[in-house]
């Protein structure tokens, strides 16, 4: 849950019950008006194996051990 969502939920909890119900009613109104889409409806399924970036560093000898590669980069950059 992102920080903005947490902040909204905290603000909602501070409202009196009648105001909380008005917020829920307004959300229901907006959902009916604009159509509430679920993640599965709005997100296109992508088969990662078909993406061109998969395997693009496959033949790089310096990246065979990614942990070692990151350690070396950090040592160079943080000195």
Coil/strand/helix, residue 57: coil
Distance CA 43, CA 60 (A): 33
Query: CA 31 to CA 15: how far, in whole Å?
Result: 21
pLDDT per position as a tens digit, 28-66: 888 888 886 665 555 677 788 888 888 888 888 888 888
Residue percentage of the chain with pLDDT more than 70: 87
pLDDT for the residue 39? 56
């Amino acid at each position: 849950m992102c920080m903005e969502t947490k902040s909204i939920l905290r603000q909602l909890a501070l409202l009196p019950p009648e105001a909380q119900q008005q917020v829920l009613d307004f959300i229901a109104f907006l959902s009916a008006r604009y159509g509430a889409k679920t993640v599965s409806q709005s997100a296109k399924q992508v088969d990662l194996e078909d993406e061109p970036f998969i395997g693009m560093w496959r033949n790089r000898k310096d990246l065979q051990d990614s942990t070692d590669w990151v350690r070396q980069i950090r040592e160079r950059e943080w000195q």
